């Protein structure tokens, strides 16, 4: 068990989140090009964290299958809730 989630669920969530991040283009979520070259397709973890209102470290932990359940941020709730 990983912070209240079974390992299988945590790994499934990790695979899902990585896949979504890799499939989304920055333009699809309203981000403008910064001129920095992208080494991989999709959004950067920093961009996902900014859009979700969480830390980059948290995004990394979720993608590694070892994150905890997050409290929703006020900014996220205000924008999307």
Strand partners, 2: 5
The structural domains of the chain, ordered by start, are 7-30+41-80 (1.10.260)
Task: Say what the pLDDT of residue 65 is.
Answer: 85
- Put residue 53 in one of left, alpha, beta given phi > 0 → left and psi -120 to 50 → alpha: left
pLDDT digits (tens, 9 = 90+) for 21-70: 999 988 899 988 777 788 878 999 999 999 999 999 999 999 888 865 55
Alpha-carbon span 62 to 24, nearest angstrom = 17
The pair of structure tokens assigned to 46 is 């920093």
Q: In the chain, which residue ranges form alpha helices assigned H by DSSP? A: 7-23, 45-52, 56-63, 74-80
């Amino acid at each position: 068990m990983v912070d209240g989630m079974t390992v299988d669920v945590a790994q499934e969530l990790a695979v899902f989140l990585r896949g979504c991040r890799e499939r989304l283009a920055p333009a699809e979520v309203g981000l403008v090009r910064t001129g920095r070259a992208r080494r991989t397709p999709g959004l950067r973890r920093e961009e996902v964290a900014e859009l979700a209102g969480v830390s980059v470290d948290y995004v990394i932990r979720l993608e590694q299958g070892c994150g905890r359940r997050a409290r929703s941020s006020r900014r996220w709730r205000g924008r999307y809730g």
